[in-house]
Amino acid sequence: MEPIFSLEKANDHSQGHLSDILGLEFLEISRQKIRSRMTITQKHRSPTGYLHAASIIALADTTCGCGTAINLPKGNNGFTTLELKSNFLGTLREGDLYCEAVPEHIGRTSQVWSATVTDGNGKRIALFRCSQIILYPECGNLNLKIESTTK
């Protein structure tokens, strides 16, 4: 099955957003696996010189978000991260970080994704999981129409 959109389109879509500022690049996109890379520079490190946890989370959450986007059901109004968890297993000062994200659950109202962040040698740096809530034009996800009570 062809990906819903190309790598070029996914990378272009990031222009001007956090993932662009951090230098995230998508490497592979399919409904069942998303891969990305980010080269560590000073902006990715904390003042201690080590990789900032937020840089890892941005890489993993953006990679999972791309997977969510290409698996959205019809009639949606977008999505947002509902919950995330990350376990940090190591750190780096330089080099490339790689992220591979896979879906654990693809539903009409939610998706759950797992991601593994590694260094260039395949050493695990972080394990990540997030829940995405699918938004619809109706009130919440209960398919209730919003009616104004003000006159």
C-alpha 9, offset from chain centre: 16
Mean pLDDT, rounded, for 35-51: 96
Amino acid at 15: Q
* Predicted local distance difference test score (pLDDT) of residue 142: 52
Name which of 123, 48, 41 is nearest 90 in CA terms: 123
* Predicted local distance difference test score (pLDDT) of residue 6: 77
Q: How far is CA 28 from CA 5, 54, 108, 127, in A?
A: 11, 23, 24, 19
Asked whether residue 114 is domain-assigned, the answer is: yes
Question: What range does the domain containing 116 cover?
Answer: 7-134
Beta partners for 111? 106, 132
Give 7-23 pLDDT, tens digit per residue: 777 777 778 888 888 99
Asked whether residue 140 is domain-assigned, the answer is: no
* Predicted local distance difference test score (pLDDT) of residue 134: 96
CATH number at residue 48: 3.10.129.10
Over pLDDT 70: what percentage of the chain? Answer: 87
Give 57-106 pLDDT, tens digit per residue: 999 999 999 999 999 999 999 999 999 999 999 999 999 999 999 999 99
Query: Per the structure, how many domains does the chain have?
Result: 1
- Determine how many CB atoms are found less than 10 A away from the CB of residue 74: 5
* Dist CA 40 CA 26 (whole Å): 15
